[in-house]
Structure formats: structure tokens, C-alpha cells
Chain A
Amino acid sequence: MEIKSMQFKANAAGSLANVVLQGNLKNAKGKFVTRRAEAIKDLDDFEGTRDAAEAIRNKVIDNMDLWLEAFERKALDTGAKVLWAKDGAEVCRLVTEIARSHGVTKVTKSKSMLSEEAGLNQALEAAGIQPVETDLGEYILQVDNNEPPSHIIAPAVHKSLDDVADLFHKVHGTPRKTEIPALTREAREVLRGHFLSAEMGLSGGNFLVAETGSVALVTNEGNGRMVTTMPKVHVVITGIEKVIPTLEDLSTLMRLLPRSATGQPISNYFSILTGVKKPEEHDGPEHLYFILVDSGRADVVGGDFHAMLRCIRCGACMNHCPVYQTIGGHAYGWVYPGPMGSVLTPLYAGMENSIDLPHAATLCNQCGIVCPVKIPLPDLLRKLREKQTERGLRPLTERIGLRLWAWVAQRPRLYALGASVGARYLKWLAGDTDRIRLLPTAPEWTLGRDFPAPQGKTFRELYAARRNATPPT
């Protein structure tokens, strides 16, 4: 997917000015946050379960090569083929080759964020193969001129009912409908033909179970089952970090994933798919391929951002992020928005292509608190800021300003003088009012709010004066 993260600030301004989007975001925020808060109350020991989930994910990412080999052996035993992709281009090449080798002209897709990373739909279209998104949200976006998703589990969350009503009326050429059931029915009618005619189904994978060689899929629509069982070929595309050891581990993680994501105790559909159709079975694919993708993940192993590989893609961090809640996902400019995206985008798409993202957070740690696998997201964002500084990626004025400020702060007399002058300057700007309407030294502050006036003298000045007036007893 094309990366537009360098335009973060302009994107964010656009989001703030978009009245419809602001309404949609407000609506979505309430639902995600409230439902999750209710759902975790069901668990006897939420914090203990988080600890267990963290330990499971650490066990895997600390020895990822071994667990991947274990998964591969089991998957091969079940009749699947396991392919490895270094990057998005390899994903596109492998999927295209598989499709061609089976004479495929149409592919139905269940949601896969990795196919977004790889830009797979465009590659398939270029190869003359029709990709059809069947997740309702992804379908809406595909028919809206391939708009990118704005959320990892609710890709069209930025759209309102009215938006979708207009869109379906336009692209389906049907009378405009305003009821949700009527709109979903219309999408199902369109998709039904694709389900029946596609020769290949393509899905992501929430977890790969090493013990059984299975892929676990967590979905809320029936589309995932149609995509993975109806066509004769099923291709799973997922990141190499998604492997977990056992089905028991899967059950632990599943106590947290749907609750953290949508506030559901369990998703509407939960599938564990193992191997190809056996001779005595009626359903299932004849050919099953796993494409396990690196795309930057292996480079993260063992480094400063290792903990990020624990991520199980629930989206709780973005749902609870004050910045995401305010500007939505598109502003982040790539596949993954919110705090997770502000870490993943620099790691997978290049630090130099996403200068603003690690700074686009207040470090409030709401994300760290809700993360089901306890990823210290604010620490990782801060570490990325440090890396940017080390690599000279921040603007020169900012770097000089920071160094100068730290230099002065190590010299108490100079610092005290600076603070005295500063306090008087700010007081002068406020005049005889209690506020500054335009702050020349930090104009961003006063774009949307005033800057309160200081008292005029510093604490250290007033304290010294007080001490002089009343000698210590």
C-alpha cells in the first residue's frame, strides 16, 4: 500500500475539518470503549489472563524460527503447502503464481491486513485476476474506488450509514436504501454470486497453531467461512509472528482478543481450519497454501521493538487513543493506524517515511493499559523518537532547540535568568488580561486555544524574596 504518513499533519487537519467524519468517530469511540469495559468484567482475572497472554506471545517471538518450523512440519502433514515471502512484492508474486497454476480468474477475499501491506489487490488486477473483498467493510471500501481502511477490524468505521446508502445506490444502481438490514442484504446478494463463482479464496490468519498446523480465524460475518471452504483453493496470508504453540494457548488468547477488539465474549464466527479436504469429507479446499510473510518482522526480533511482535491486532490501542479518536485512521497514512500503527509504520515502511507518527501521541498510556498482551506502546514510541534523533531525521531547528534547552537547564544561573525573562515576556504578551491569544514562540498552541498568562515572576524569585524578608528560624 502506498504510504502517505509524511502528510500526517495535513491529513489530520483534513480529518478535523470533516464534520461527517467527526460525528462518525464520536459514535464509534463510545461503542468500542464501553463494550470492551463491560466485556472484560466477565473475566475472573483479567490481569492474570493478560500476563498469561503476554507470556505465550513472548515464548513464540523469543524463538520464532523454532515455532515456525514446528508449524511448517505440522501444516505439511495436513496436506498444506507452506511458502515464505520476504516482502510484499513476493506475496503478490506467489499469490499470482498460485492463481495462474490453478487457472483462477476470480479470488474472494476475507479480511487480510497483510494483503493491504502488500498491495495485493492492485497486483492481482494487473495480472488479470479479479479480487473481491467480502468482508462488508472491506467490500464497501473496494467499491468506493479502493479506499484504504481506517481501522484494522472495522475498516469502514469512518463511513456513516448515509455514506454507505449513497455509495450502494451509485455502484449497484439500485434504489437508495436507508435501513442497515436492507443494505447488508444488498451486499450479500451481490457477494453471493462471487462466492459461488470464485475459484480461489484468500484469508488472513489471526493465529497459526504450531501443535496442529492450523489457522484460526476470528470473524463476525459468514464471509470468512465461505471464502475458506467453498473454492477449491484456499490461500492464507499472514505475518510470521502470528504463530502460537498450542490450542490451549489459542483458548487463552481468545479470552482476550474478541473482548479487547469489539467487546464480545466470542466473535460471531471462530474457525480453526486444518489441512485440505480429505477424501471422506464433503467440504473444504483441495489445495491449501500458507504464505508466511516477513516484510520487516524478522528485523524487529531481538531489538528495541521486539515487544511489538506480541501484537494480536485487536485494535484496542487505537480505540482508546485520544489522537485516533480525534482524527481517525486515514490520517496515519498507511495500513495500521493509532498507537500500534505509529510503531509498526516506521518499522515496516521506514522511519524516514513516517517522521511524525512516533510524535503523534500524548504518551497518555491508555493504549498500554488496554493492550491485552501488555505492549509498552508509549515506551516504544519514545524509543522511536530517540532513534529519529540519533539518525538526524528530526528538523534541525527542533534538534538545536532541544540541545540548547538541555544545555541551559544544566546551568542553574543561566536557567533562572531565562525563566525570569520568559515569565516577564509572557506576562507582557498577555498585557492586562489573563491570557495570550497568539503565542509567537509556539503558534501551534494558540491555533485552537488560549495560553493562560503567567503570574509574572518565577517561583525562585518570589521564594528568594520571601526568604530575605523573613530570615529562616
Chain B
Amino acid sequence: MARIRVAMFVTCLVDLMRPRIGFAALKLLETAGCEVIVPKTQTCCGQPAWNSGDAPGAVALAKKTIAEFEGFEYVVVPSGSCGEHIRVEYPRLFVDEPEWRDRATALASRTYELTDFLVTVLKVDSVPGDYEGTVTYHDSCSGLRGLGIKQQPRALLAKVKGVSLKEMNGCEECCGFGGTFSIKFGEVSAAIAERKCDNILASGAQAVVGGDLGCLLNIEGKLRRMGDETTQVLHVAEVLAGRT
């Protein structure tokens, strides 16, 4: 069988902050038999511009991303937030440009959040990672409410040797990150994060796992400021892939 050709959209935050998440995603896709291409010229999907009210900037970046990625069979994103922007918002960006809207719609239909792709498209029955201990899962807002990512990461974590999942209270509640919200209203954002962290700590899990680096940076930053030095904060790809 011909290998599935997948383009990976790395995302700004993974590129800047946590390259190891990108490598973990790469490993998961390659282990599952995909040929993974990482287009060199990719930058940002444009979601921060769109959410900040800069429509022209958002449209320009969407066009750039569409042109770079539309030649691939699938596009996989290790983020519910960026994934949602491409899958749900891109077709809505081009109200007056039907040609671009069609291209956006075509790309959107082939773009998947990482865990969704592994479960829904590849239907993987094993993952390379192992993790000894209990984890709790934070459902990020865009992934959960935008893309319906709920069971996919849990189904995959269940395949990781040694992991047991302990759900926290309010796992579907926002962590308070909200992109630029976190730096416009820092105190409010951090206060929301505190509620999330209280729930994480109350779960007693060794690690909190999620699918969006924005949420994870917010949660880790708050946990450490609260004095918690032990709870690990991990992207789901890191747990699923094990050492990269």
C-alpha cells in the first residue's frame, strides 16, 4: 500500500517553545506509516490576527498557508486551536472571494488535529510511548468545542503502556489562556488558570496532559507560580510518542 503523504503544520508555539512536541508528532505519524513532509516556508496560520480583529492580516496568512499545504493528501496539526482555525474558520474568511473559499474549504476538509488524525483516519492500534503513572487530561476549548476532540486523545492514552487516566473536575473548562487575552488581561487570565490548576492538583495526577501548547504553557506557568514543582505538564504527543 502506498504510504499516506502527510504535511505537518508545526504551529508557531511548538516551533518557538517546544520543538520536541513537533518531533513527537513526527514520530507518531511516521510510526503509523505516513510519509511526513514539513513545508519549510510555513509560519503561522493567522489565527492570532483573526482573533485580534486584523482581518486583512488573517486573510493574507490564510492564503499563504493554503498555497503551501493544498498539494498534500492530509495536513496534520499538533494543536486543536490552529487545527480549528484551518478547519472551521478558513472557509469563513473568504466571503467575497469564492475561488479562495473553495480552496480553503478543500484544505479544511483534509486538515486534522493530531489525535483526531491518528484515531479517525489512521485508526492506529498501538502507539510507541510508555509512561508510568496517572495523568489527567485538559480538554482545550478549540479542540473540544470547535473540533469535537474528546475521546480521541483518551483512546490513544489508553494504548500507552503504564498510563492510567484520572479525570479532573471541570476538565472541559477553559484554562484562561485565550491567546492575546492572556497578555491583555493577565490577572484575570491567571485567576482563571488558578481554578484549573486547583482541579489538576485535586485529581492527584502526576501529569496534566493536553493537546494545545498555549493552554499547557499557561497551566505550567500557573502551577509553578503556585509552588507546585512536581506535576508534569505534557503535550499528548509527548506521552504517546515516548522518547524522540
Interface residues of A (CB under 8 A from B): 9, 12-13, 16, 322-323, 325-327, 359-366, 368-369, 382, 384-390, 394, 398, 402-403, 405-407, 409-410, 412, 415, 419, 422-423, 426, 434-435, 442-452, 454-455, 457-463
Cα of A382 to Cα of B56 in the assembled complex, Å: 14
Cα of A453 to Cα of B185 in the assembled complex, Å: 21
B182 contacts the other chain (Cβ, under 8 Å)?
Answer: yes
B 28-64 contacts with A by CB, 8 A: 38, 40-44, 46, 48-58, 60-61, 64
Cα of A351 to Cα of B56 in the assembled complex, Å: 21
30 intermolecular pairs with C-beta atoms under 8 Å apart: A12-B185, A12-B187, A322-B195, A326-B191, A361-B178, A362-B141, A362-B174, A362-B189, A362-B192, A366-B145, A382-B51, A398-B52, A406-B56, A409-B43, A409-B61, A410-B60, A410-B64, A415-B44, A423-B17, A426-B16, A444-B184, A446-B186, A446-B221, A447-B186, A448-B190, A450-B222, A452-B217, A454-B18, A459-B15, A463-B23
- Chain B residues, Cβ within 8 Å of A443: 186
- Chain A residues, Cβ within 8 Å of B218: 449
Contact between chains at A364 and B54 (CB < 8 Å): no
Contact between chains at A409 and B225 (CB < 8 Å): no
Cα of A232 to Cα of B26 in the assembled complex, Å: 76
Contact between chains at A406 and B191 (CB < 8 Å): no
Contact between chains at B16 and A458 (CB < 8 Å): yes
B 178-221 contacts with A by CB, 8 A: 178-195, 217-218, 220-221
Nearest 3 pairs of A and B residues by beta carbon: A448-B190, A362-B178, A444-B186
Cα of A362 to Cα of B179 in the assembled complex, Å: 7
- Chain A residues, Cβ within 8 Å of B40: 412, 460
B69 contacts the other chain (Cβ, under 8 Å)?
Answer: no
B176 contacts the other chain (Cβ, under 8 Å)?
Answer: yes
- Given contact pairs A361-B181, A403-B57, A16 touches B174 in the complex (Cβ within 8 A): no
Main SS of the interface on chain B?
Answer: helix
Shortest Cβ distance from A422 into B: residue: B16
- Chain B residues, Cβ within 8 Å of A364: 141, 145, 174, 178
- Chain A residues, Cβ within 8 Å of B56: 406
Return the contact of A406 from the options B61, B176, B222 (Cβ within 8 A): B61
Cα of A388 to Cα of B181 in the assembled complex, Å: 16
B146 contacts the other chain (Cβ, under 8 Å)?
Answer: yes
Shortest Cβ distance from A384 into B: residue: B53
Cα of A13 to Cα of B51 in the assembled complex, Å: 24
Cα of A389 to Cα of B57 in the assembled complex, Å: 12
Most chain-B CB neighbours within 10 Å: which of A388, A390, A454?
A: A454
- Given contact pairs A409-B43, A412-B42, A435-B221, A455 touches B181 in the complex (Cβ within 8 A): no
Shortest Cβ distance from B20 into A: residue: A455
- Chain A residues, Cβ within 8 Å of B64: 410
- Chain B residues, Cβ within 8 Å of A382: 50-51, 53
Contact between chains at A458 and B181 (CB < 8 Å): no
- Chain B residues, Cβ within 8 Å of A368: 145
- Chain A residues, Cβ within 8 Å of B192: 322-323, 325-326, 362
Contact between chains at A366 and B57 (CB < 8 Å): no
Cα of A461 to Cα of B20 in the assembled complex, Å: 12
Return the contact of B190 from the options A434, A449, A461 (Cβ within 8 A): A449
Nearest CB of chain A from residue B82's CB, rounded to whole Å: 13
Cα of A419 to Cα of B40 in the assembled complex, Å: 14
- Chain A residues, Cβ within 8 Å of B182: 444-445
Return the contact of A459 from the options B19, B193, B233 (Cβ within 8 A): B19
- Chain A residues, Cβ within 8 Å of B100: none
Contact between chains at B16 and A326 (CB < 8 Å): no
Return the contact of B16 from the options A386, A388, A454 (Cβ within 8 A): A454
